[in-house]
Structure 1
């Protein structure tokens, strides 16, 4: 399996998952919201992008949209103000209530275009209004680490979703992917490994505690995804 976290061309096991996502869409009109959760580096974005691509292939690009949680990172200027710059990526470094408000709007305002922030990996900063959910789209796929976190703000985000899937896989592969990602965006290998150990892994333990609350677990396989036996 391509472990870059960016390929939507992995198809093994994707068809049944796309069927399940499609089944969330209400038959009488309106919009469904699917959350894809998992520990850092689990492959949430890869699965979300693949689902969106497959459902767009089936129904056209106006049917489905992808809105990652990462657009709700606090900017570095706010992290520095709060003394959280070295905790970037932890739950308290996101605007959880703002994210929950966006999800509620996506559920309620289904006819008009809705703009959402994205996260620019090169700058490591959120960018306002960088994404759009077209009016009339029937499914929104959102993904992030903390969709099942039992804390204020995150509970509100979860309440706006029709279902949350938890992506799980091999921890060694996941950690290697995280180190490679940090290196790709400017850290030395030593600094990347230290960040994974000090920040990403404690966050991973927190996220994994919510696995049992997921509506469905999706396992990352060597050539795609599968549901547990």
Structure 2
């Protein structure tokens, strides 16, 4: 399937047509064959919410493997002097993420692959948290840098069968992002500063990859 055949934009309103997205995701499911769907977009766009709902609707046909499971540990970020910009491309194990995607593309009968997850309550990755059974035909992965073309991230796009880019109104996205940081323990002034000085710098990098997506989705699951 060429990019021209799958390209386009879905959603001109505020709320996503989730049913249409589920149908499109289900179209990737081929029994006996492993495919990987990526959902990219800037921080706060709603990637994890959309990916989780797709997987829930697809039942046993899909499993969610988040890119955020490859965050470097906070102790390592401090050692490298990068703790103050956690979430930037070089604060992840991008090569490790690409290696996992390559492994997931070719499942071995009888072998479960264990992927890491990310716990926002402690801001740390958790190894071996997501079991991916070989018979599951669709892996959904989501994260900021699936379309980033620098360094080891450049390997990722070719490992994904289709990538959707999720776009949310900028003002609403920033508001939600600040609220998320506050929910997870940051004082509001600190949350606003972090979003402005760190998250939005990363958002600009993410947006640069938008043209490489197969589908651009505008809106969110809630109004």
Change in Cα spacing, 1:148 to 1:12, as seen in structure 2 (3 Å) is: closer
- Partner residue of 2:76? 78
- Per-residue CA deviation, residues 131-180 of structure 1 (Å, 9 max, x unaligned), is 11122000000000000001121111221110110000111111011111
The match for 1:50 among 45, 48, 53 is 53
Are the aligned partners of 1:30 and 1:110 in contact in 2 as well (CA < 8 Å)?
no
- Partner residue of 2:63? 65
Matches within 5 A, 1:156-175: 156-175=155-174
Are the aligned partners of 1:146 and 1:154 in contact in 2 as well (CA < 8 Å)?
yes
- Partner residue of 2:178? 179
Q: Secondary structure at the match of 1:135?
A: coil
- Partner residue of 2:26? 22
Q: Secondary structure at the match of 1:153?
A: helix
Superposed displacement of residue 26, structure 1:
3.3
The TM-score normalised by the length of structure 2 is 0.89
- Partner residue of 1:5? none
Change in Cα spacing, 1:140 to 1:110, as seen in structure 2 (3 Å) is: farther
Higher RCO by CA contacts (8 Å cutoff, separation 6 or greater): 2
Matches within 5 A, 1:113-152: 113-152=112-151
**Gaps spanning 5+ residues in structure 1: where?**
1-10, 225-229
Q: Secondary structure at the match of 2:30?
A: coil
**Gaps spanning 5+ residues in structure 2: where?**
1-14
Aligned CA RMSD, in angstroms, stands at 1.5
Change in Cα spacing, 1:209 to 1:12, as seen in structure 2 (3 Å) is: closer
Superposed displacement of residue 199, structure 1:
0.2
Matches within 5 A, 1:100-111: 100-111=98-109
For residues 155 and 18 of structure 1, the distance between their equivalents in structure 2, rounded to whole angstroms, comes to 27
The match for 1:32 among 10, 27, 35 is 35
Q: What is the count of residue pairs matched by the alignment?
A: 208
For residues 112 and 78 of structure 2, the distance between their equivalents in structure 1, rounded to whole angstroms, comes to 33
For residues 196 and 12 of structure 1, the distance between their equivalents in structure 2, rounded to whole angstroms, comes to 25
The TM-score normalised by the length of structure 1 is 0.87
For residues 221 and 73 of structure 1, the distance between their equivalents in structure 2, rounded to whole angstroms, comes to 25
For residues 216 and 71 of structure 2, the distance between their equivalents in structure 1, rounded to whole angstroms, comes to 25
Runs of 4+ in 1 over 3 A off after TM superposition: 221-224
For residues 33 and 49 of structure 1, the distance between their equivalents in structure 2, rounded to whole angstroms, comes to 14
Superposed displacement of residue 222, structure 1:
7.0
